[in-house]
Amino acid sequence: DENSLHAAHRMEKMAIRADEKTLCILLISGGGSALLTSPANYQQGTVRINLDLEYIQKTTSTLLACGATIDEINCIRKHLSSIKGGRLARLLFPARTISLILSDVVGDRLATIASGLTTHDASTFSEALKILNRYEIQNAVPEPVMRVLEAGARGDIEETPKQYDPAFSKVTNILIGTNYTALLAASKKSNALGYHTTIISSQITGEAREVAKVFYAIAMDVKIHGLLLEKPACVIAGGETTVTLRGKGKGGRNQEIALSFLSQMEKEKEQAQGIYFLSASTDGNDGPTDAAGAFVSLDIMKECTEKGLNVEAALKENDSYTFFSALDALLITGPTNTNVCDVHIILVP
C-alpha cells in the first residue's frame, strides 16, 4: 500500500546518504517484499517506462491467484523494483552492511527472502517473462509491466546486480532463523512428550491438496508398518505449498492441506483411526484468514458426517476456512510476528 511505498522511499534516501565510513545493520524477514514497494522508473536509452503501486499490486495478485511459487513471484518483483534483487546493496555501497535474516523461504535462498535486498540476483528479465507465459497470464498483468520485462529481455534495461558486483564485497548476510529451526523446536517438544520423533523435510513444496495425499500415505505406513519409527510416533515436516484457486471460498494453504488430508481419511474411514494431523503457518496467518491452520482426526471426520458437511465440495470451492470453522477445528494463535514458513505434524499414538 502507500505506507510500503513511503517506507521504501525513506530507505532509499537513507541508503544513498551512506558512505565508506557508514555501518548499516539490516533486519530482514518475510514480508519485506510487501512492506518495501518501490516501483522502478526505467529511463535508459530509448526506454521510458514508469511503474506505479497499482501495477505492482495487480501483478502480485495475479501471480498469487494462478498458483505461482514464491521464487517465481519474487523473480518478477525484483525486476520491477528499484531496491529488490540486490539493488539496495548497490545503493548502500560503499558502506559496510550486515544483514540479519529470518528466512520465510523454503531452502533459505537469500536471493528470495524479501526479494533479496542485499544479495546478488541470478534471475533475469527473460526468466520473469517466461513465468508469465508459463501461467498464460501475460494479458492479465498491466501493459507497462509487460513492456518493462520485454525491454529487459531484449537487453534495453540493465539487469539486477549479479554475483561479482562490487557492492556485495561490503555485505555480510547472516541467517538467524529458518524453518528448520522451528522444526527442531517442535521435535524437542515432541520428544519431551514421549513421542518417537523424526523430521522428514523442511523443504516441502507443491500443490497443497497433492502434498496432503503424500502426508496421508506416510501416516498410514507409520500406523500399519511402523515405517520411519515406532509408535507413539510424531512425524514433522515443514516448507510452503501453493494453492491454485478453483473456487470462491475462503481459506489458506495449510487449511487446504488439512482438508485434503481429511478427504483421504474419509475414503479409508476406520482404517484412519489413531491418526492425527496438523498443518499450520508459523506466523499465525494462513491465507486471508485469522487462522494459522487446522487439525484433522477421525473424530473430526465423524463430526463432519454428522453435520452433513461435504469435504469434496469444500475442496472444490477452496472453502477450507468455512468448513473447519463449522467443526471448531481451526488453530487460531493470533499473529506471532515471526514467519519461517509452515509446520506439518503427523501423530500416531
Tens digits of per-residue pLDDT, 148-198? Answer: 999 999 999 999 999 999 999 999 999 999 999 999 999 999 999 999 999
- Give the pLDDT mean for 285-309: 95
- Give the pLDDT mean for 33-57: 85
Residue with cell 506505479: 52
* pLDDT above 80: residue 44: no
Q: What pLDDT, on the 0 to 100 scale, is given for residue 135?
A: 96
Are 162 and 213 in the same domain?
no
> How many domains, in total, are found in the chain?
2
Of 130, 158, 177, at which residue does a domain stop?
177
Q: How far, in whole angstroms, is CA 198 from its chain's centroid?
A: 23
Residue 31 buriedness (CB in 10 A; 0-12 / 13-18 / 19+): middle
Exposed e or buried b per residue across 276-303, where buried means at least 16 C-beta atoms within 10 angstroms of its C-beta: bbbbbbbbbbbbebebbbbbbbbebbee
Are 211 and 293 in the same domain?
yes
pLDDT digits (tens, 9 = 90+) for 98-149: 999 999 999 999 998 999 999 999 999 999 999 999 999 999 999 999 999 9
Distance CA 348, CA 274 (A): 6
Q: What pLDDT, on the 0 to 100 scale, is given for residue 124?
A: 96
Which of 35-44, 52-61, 76-85, 159-168 shows the lowest mean pLDDT across its residues? Answer: 35-44
DSSP at 39: B
The Cβ-side half-sphere exposure at 330, using a 13 Å CA radius, reads 25
Residue with cell 483421504: 264
CB 253 within 8 A of CB 323: no
* pLDDT above 80: residue 82: yes
Are 172 and 188 in the same domain?
no
Considering the chain, what is the average pLDDT of its residues?
A: 94
Name the strand (E) or helix (H) holding 196: strand 196-204
Q: What pLDDT, on the 0 to 100 scale, is given for residue 70?
A: 79
Distance CA 143, CA 119 (A): 29
Q: What pLDDT, on the 0 to 100 scale, is given for residue 69?
A: 82
Are 167 and 229 in the same domain?
no
Of 131, 154, 177, at which residue does a domain stop?
177
pLDDT digits (tens, 9 = 90+) for 260-273: 999 999 998 888 89
Helix (H, G, I), strand (E, B) or coil at 164: coil
- 347: which strand partners? 234, 276
Are 160 and 183 in the same domain?
no
* pLDDT above 80: residue 2: yes
Domain interval for residue 252: 179-348
CATH number of the domain encompassing residue 25: 3.40.50.10180
Are 259 and 134 in the same domain?
no
Distance CA 181, CA 104 (A): 11
Q: What are phi and psi of 182, to 5 degrees?
A: -65, -40
Q: Which of 55, 92, 56 is nearest to 74 (CA)?
A: 56
pLDDT digits (tens, 9 = 90+) for 8-20: 899 999 999 999 9
Distance CA 346, CA 344 (A): 7
The Cβ-side half-sphere exposure at 41, using a 13 Å CA radius, reads 3
Residue with cell 501423530: 347
- Give the pLDDT mean for 224-244: 93
Q: What pLDDT, on the 0 to 100 scale, is given for residue 27?
A: 96
Q: What pLDDT, on the 0 to 100 scale, is given for residue 225?
A: 93
DSSP at 113: G
Of 177, 208, 240, at which residue does a domain stop?
177
- 23: which strand partners? 96
Q: Which of 268, 279, 270 is nearest to 235 (CA)?
A: 279
CATH number of the domain encompassing residue 238: 3.40.1480.10
Are 316 and 224 in the same domain?
yes
* pLDDT above 80: residue 317: yes
pLDDT above 70 coverage of the chain, percent: 100
* pLDDT above 90: residue 31: no
Higher pLDDT, 289 or 2: 289
Are 168 and 198 in the same domain?
no
* pLDDT above 90: residue 217: yes
* pLDDT above 80: residue 336: yes
Which of 54-58, 252-256, 330-334 shows the lowest mean pLDDT across its residues? Answer: 54-58
